[in-house]
Structure 1
Amino acid sequence: MSNFTSIKKLPPRDGSLQAWALDFPQQDKAPRVTERGLYLQGWVLAHAGVERGELLARFITGGQEVLCAIPFNNDRPDVIQRVLGADPSGHPQLRCGFIAYLKEAPQAFTLGVKLDGETVWLCDVQLMESTPVATTENKRAEMQVIRGTGGWLFLDNDTNRSVDQYTGRLQLDGAGLERWQAYLDGCVAIAKDVAAPHALVIAASKEQVLPEHYPHQKGEKTVHEQVLGLCREEHRVLDTVQLLAARPNKETLFIKTDTHWTDRGALAATLALLARLGLDAKASQDSLTQDVYYTMPFIGDLGGKLSPAVSEPTEFLQAPPPASNAVFDNNLANIGRVLVFEDEHALWSHSLLVFGASSSYPMLKYLKRLFGRVVFVHSAGHVDRTIVQHEKPDFLVMQTTARFMIEPPGVGFVLASAVADKMAITTEDVRARALAARKAASANPKNLPYCDMLKIR
């Protein structure tokens, strides 16, 4: 038998409450109980003009009802950015978060909040001794996580066989090397056709930069090293493995509980990319000197696979999410997503076209403020020639990830087909947002091809 949490949300009583979340404890996950009591974390947003008071936990102990007041004691800039789409600096609801311990660790309690002097109850929480419904699924998820030293988590049992790549047990065969060579040469030719300086960014995996926290020994030759052996100067490859591993603050460049780099890591890669493209990285760095960073607990894509979930303090840029302020966003998930940014006040008026993967998103927090036009295509580095010819960008970037290198990207990608496949299975909500995106983007004819792919004109 194991402990897990059951959470039942209560229907809202009126319109004074805008949004809320209980981060811990989590549904179907074991609660965190220490000598200090039951750990609680979450946030509450009231509508403008509503006076928000303290949080309340109601439970029974010794046959008597107890009301425990919980103060709002935690700034949540991430909530202000993500939920309200606002700048958190000086925002009146910035301190919307709470972190607390219920000393008695009740087996059941109700959580509520005071709004305009009245208590609005949010949810019933029960701590139960039983087997969670998702036990098999949880075990399968936990098998995808390696616990390294110092709280560092790493990926395991993934489709790219990350461990086997790192240890050298899995390598590219002759056909794979030929495909990589064709891709590298193809990118050179495509960039030359539009007279655009280009670069291929390889986003490092954590184990490559922080091997001291990784339990496996690096192999004599890896897939990553096989590909680097094919590269010539004209391929304009930016190997962030070497770049980040050489930095004295390298532990600040990756998220302990996630497979991706931090915003600091993305910034280091961005500045190196600009230099690789022949731009003035120092000027761009100077333009970002007013940036502010904050630290908050973060579960990540690895910490969330564990039961109970594991979080670690993580540093983030205090800025809107990567997709915010896009003049076009088709809202599709993963491969096939298109984001377009236009900023007449950017450091450079140049245009940038990026064929990237998930590691590109934190880079967009910086790139969209540096270039007059940025088009991002989520393609994992695969290139669509027709998009390059349409955009004729001043600069062209491809971005892949080290663990993806076992499957060479190509230059025959067709974005329209990827979008059509996603639209065929998408939800009505995404379709509605696609319609809104088409309307917002129509002012610039350069954006219309991306609208046409949604078949909404």
Structure 2
Amino acid sequence: MSGVTFSIEKNKDFDLRWFLDSIKFDTDKLQQGETIIEGWVIGDESHTADSIIIEKKNQTLEFPLNVSRPDVINKFYPIDNETGGYRPHLKCGFRVSIDFSQETFKLGVKINHKTYWAANIKPKKPDTLIGATGWIFLDNDTNESVPQFLGEKKVTENWICDWNYYFTSTSEYLNGFCKYTFLLAPSKEEVLQEEYPYIRTKETLTEKLTLNFGDHITWPAAKLKDQKYLCYDMAETHWTDHGANIALSSCLADMDENYLSDINATYIVVSTRGDLGDKVTPAVRSVRLKTVMSNSAALISDNKIVNHGNIKFFKNSAPNSYKKLLIFGGSSANFMLPHAANLFGEVMFVHSTGSIDKSIIEKFSPDLVILQTNQRFIATPPKPFINNETFIKKVKTPI
């Protein structure tokens, strides 16, 4: 039951048996905050439950037990095939829709005109949004992705100055050393706007960033929208491998590596619950395209650090290009790595969300560098440089 906590008030008078199967948003009434509560309740053989009671603030609501639950009855009241036996009515389930409104409420059962309280239910803000057709999106995240989408996210007066410092510093360092670009990975709601339960404002932080620094940025939103249902899936925040590969191709084209940008990947179709599918109950599965790595490409080392500080190194004995690619990126960049490993002789990924480690640049000596962050992260400009020395010691790479 994602986003819900509750405590049980044990009834001491008799054996009250009950269960909450799910508490979930009513997608037909999403904007009104309606929530569907499903479950069942039975007393013992002497106490038959008649209805459930929900008390919130100064309001008391009563709902009949009108859903047949033969699965529950069969478990608690099995019939002896030889002698027969007592079988209570099958309608011990409930399915009700109420205004959740982020408030604590009590759930009880009425038996013989008396209410017995079963649980205190305290909701917390959900971390997912569900569109009208079931697509799941991130909500209540630390980056305030919904306020960003609505144009409500405020940044400091120094925001543009901080981004200018980032791009000026990274450009001065990389110019003449290698080709490079800054990849801004579009958020799922940016590409799948028709599936999102809110309407996008005309000017977000993205427009402000690309207006001021567009010459530095690879922004593949238009290309992703052309194949949007192959680039994202219902149950995952991140793009699919196919979406990531379109972004990688856009980066290569912006770095004048047009031959490599035109090479297509080979995929298999996989089923997954995704990071968002795991946040809802019941869990949601979807299918997505996954890149097949060639037999000549292999992951040589991975320091296994989760997120920041993770370093992976790939090598290919028969690549399309013997150039070396280095990616300073975030979680979205991971989905580019199999295709990148197929294309290049050597690929290194450093999870730094766009910050450069000078020691890695100097030791790995890349031909191409991609600096990557996600659209929802841009409210906080990255630092131009970072030191990964403690993480480098844990990975077997040319550095």
TM-score range, shorter chain: 0.5 to 0.7
Name which of 235, 251, 269 aligns with 1:257. Answer: 235
> Is residue 293–residue 342 contact of structure 2 (8 Å, CA) maintained in 1?
no
- Name the structure 2 match of 1:292: 267
Name which of 198, 206, 228 aligns with 2:188. Answer: 206
- Name the structure 2 match of 1:385: 358
**1:412 paired to 2:385:** yes
Provide the rounded CA distance (Å) in 2 between the counterparts of 1:193 and 1:386: 17
**1:279 paired to 2:257:** yes
- Name the structure 1 match of 2:304: 331
Structure 1's 415 and 193: CA in aligned 2 closer, same or farther, altered over 3 A? farther
Provide the rounded CA distance (Å) in 2 between the counterparts of 1:63 and 1:238: 70
The unaligned stretches of length 5 or more in structure 2 are 1-17, 23-37, 40-66, 72-76, 82-117
**Paired residue type of 1:172:** V
- Name the structure 1 match of 2:152: 169
Alignment of structure 1 residues 2-151 onto 2, 5 Å = 2-3=19-20, 62=79, 139-140=123-124, 143-151=126-134
Deviation at 1:328, TM superposition (A): 1.8
- Name the structure 2 match of 1:241: 221
Deviation at 1:243, TM superposition (A): 2.8
Give the TM-score normalised by structure 2.
0.67
Q: Which has the larger radius of gyration?
A: 2
Q: After superposition, what is the alpha-carbon deviation per residue over 1:322-346, rounded to whole angstroms, capped at 9, x for unaligned? A: xx93212111110000001111211
Provide the rounded CA distance (Å) in 2 between the counterparts of 1:132 and 1:201: 49
SS at match of 1:387: helix
**1:352 paired to 2:325:** yes
- Name the structure 1 match of 2:276: 302
Q: After superposition, what is the alpha-carbon deviation per residue over 1:51-81, rounded to whole angstroms, capped at 9, x for unaligned? A: xxxxxxxxx96569xxxxxxxxxxxxxxxxx
> Is residue 203–residue 400 contact of structure 1 (8 Å, CA) maintained in 2?
yes
Identity, in percent, stands at 26
- Name the structure 2 match of 1:216: 198
- Name the structure 1 match of 2:212: 230
Provide the rounded CA distance (Å) in 1 between the counterparts of 2:242 and 2:218: 17
Point out the structure with the larger helix share. 1
**1:362 paired to 2:342:** no
Deviation at 1:161, TM superposition (A): 0.4
Provide the rounded CA distance (Å) in 2 between the counterparts of 1:374 and 1:314: 27
- Name the structure 2 match of 1:117: none
Structure 1 segments, 4+ long, off by >4 Å, are: 60-64, 281-284
Deviation at 1:320, TM superposition (A): 6.5
Deviation at 1:312, TM superposition (A): 3.6
- Name the structure 2 match of 1:111: none
Deviation at 1:294, TM superposition (A): 1.5
> Is residue 260–residue 343 contact of structure 2 (8 Å, CA) maintained in 1?
no
SS at match of 1:166: helix
> Is residue 284–residue 347 contact of structure 1 (8 Å, CA) maintained in 2?
no
The unaligned stretches of length 5 or more in structure 1 are 6-28, 39-59, 65-130, 424-433, 448-457
SS at match of 1:326: strand
